[in-house]
Homo-oligomer: A and B are copies of this chain.
């Protein structure tokens, strides 16, 4: 769900926090960072494991595992490549949910089906192979259902459509249908253009919007939903303030390189990232706070990525 935060730099991605850590910090107590590059799949995988409260404070994220897959080709048309990514995604999901195909899985597609870049979650749900009702009718060992896991799914819509928070719908459904694990798929806002449609983040900590936010007011995690929650997030938009901020940084760099306007540069350089971001927000037209930025071919990108994610979930949940 695309959100908008007023009071801090916007990022839903743990790796964007982790990046600022130098190599040596990988050994710091509380955070373990491990990186793998899968040459076959042209994927760079980063595991960030926040092991205790100290680590959580350092990264400003809840304790738990964060897996980030990065690849420049995620929005490409190449079908074979998407199959590779599907395989990598399956392996990582397997780490976060051991024995997934023996568990009752509820997949939740967060987002607004009517807004192209926010439709990712609902579109993943559309492509899933849904079996819970079949197992309930025929048992798990019938000719019709052998090898099937137990998968149900819901796209709870957004508040403007239902008048309810996603959390309310999901909790209600969990209470009634008692799944073992929830997999929540959501379109995220990235802070960097570079990450757009090229990063998949998996985490067993659920979804935690910043304070004072848009559609998703409360977290979706083990605490609020009562069962383990794995979130799959893809940045499909950036907010307008980020774009402005990034450009300003470039401007400062250029000025500095040319030895120009040293005074300006010095003074603005004294701002930290957070301060610069807030300055930009203040200067921008107020309407911009409620706007998002997304690529012009977002329809095709969303179609491809949603298919890749649903294929991974289908393949790992069912043994057919």
Contacts and interface: CB of A to CB of B under 8 A. Distances in A.
Contacts of A300: 160
Question: How many monomers of this protein are in the complex?
Answer: 4
Interface SS of A by simple majority: helix
A153 B160 contact: no
Most B CB contacts (10 A, CB to CB) among A112, A173, A194 go to A173
A246 B4 CA distance: 20
Contact of A169 (B4, B116, B154, B165): B154
A92 interface: no
A223 interface: no
Nearest to A255: B264
Contacts of A194: 285, 287
Interface string A174-196: 11110000000000000001101
A132 interface: yes
Interface in A174-225: 174-177, 193-194, 196, 214
Given A264-B264, A292-B296, A172 B176 contact: yes
A20 interface: no
Contact of A290 (B133, B176, B296, B299): B296
A263 interface: yes
Given A160-B300, A176-B169, A283 B247 contact: yes
A28 interface: no
B246 A285 contact: yes
A290 B285 contact: no
Nearest to A169: B173
A106 B287 CA distance: 32
A172 B169 CA distance: 7
Interface of A: 2, 4, 77, 112, 114-116, 125-126, 129-134, 150-154, 157, 159-165, 168-169, 171-177, 193-194, 196, 214, 240, 243-244, 246-248, 250-251, 254, 261, 263-264, 267, 280, 283-285, 287-288, 290-300
Given A115-B299, A247-B280, 8 more contacts: A130-B159, A130-B163, A154-B157, A194-B287, A240-B243, A247-B283, A263-B263, A291-B296
